[in-house]
Amino acid sequence: MAKKNALPKGNEQWLKEVAAAYVDACEVLPLMEGELDEGDLYSIGPNVCFKFRGLELSPKEEQRATDAAVGSFMATEEGSGPFEDPEMAFAFTYIAAHFALDLIEEDEATEILEFIEANVPRLRGLTFLW
């Protein structure tokens, strides 16, 4: 796996990148099959991760990372709390995919997600700037 695009440095840069990734995912939504809405964007968080990192992955690597990220989301999601926000649900699988691909460590993923959760209104505001 070759990583072409550098990782954000610091929580602020991660917040900005997640906002840009979320906007990118929203642009794909009309092209997806079925009646999907913003609440379903968590399911493509890993794909946007691959795109933003410029990764060249085998189908097996993509599936492993996607299964890990979306599976973690499904195991963690309780139907309430932070995952009621589509932006936060998307951020979770986007960051989890980075962890599943060994691009970031677990403690870094946790720190990033805690920062994003504390700044969901800012994240939401950033998505309107694009």
Kindly list the domain boundaries of the chain, sorted by start residue.
11-127
Whole-prediction pTM: 0.88
Which among 31, 59, 54 is positioned nearest to 67, based on CA atoms?
59
Asked if 101 and 80 touch (Cβ cutoff 8 Å), the reply is no
Q: What is the largest CA-CA distance in the chain?
A: 37
Structure tokens at 108: 């870094």
Print pLDDT tens along the chain (130 aa).
555 889 999 999 999 999 999 999 988 877 777 667 777 888 899 999 999 999 999 999 999 999 999 888 888 765 556 667 899 999 999 999 999 999 999 999 999 999 999 999 999 888 875 5
The residue to which tokens 């070759």 are assigned: 2
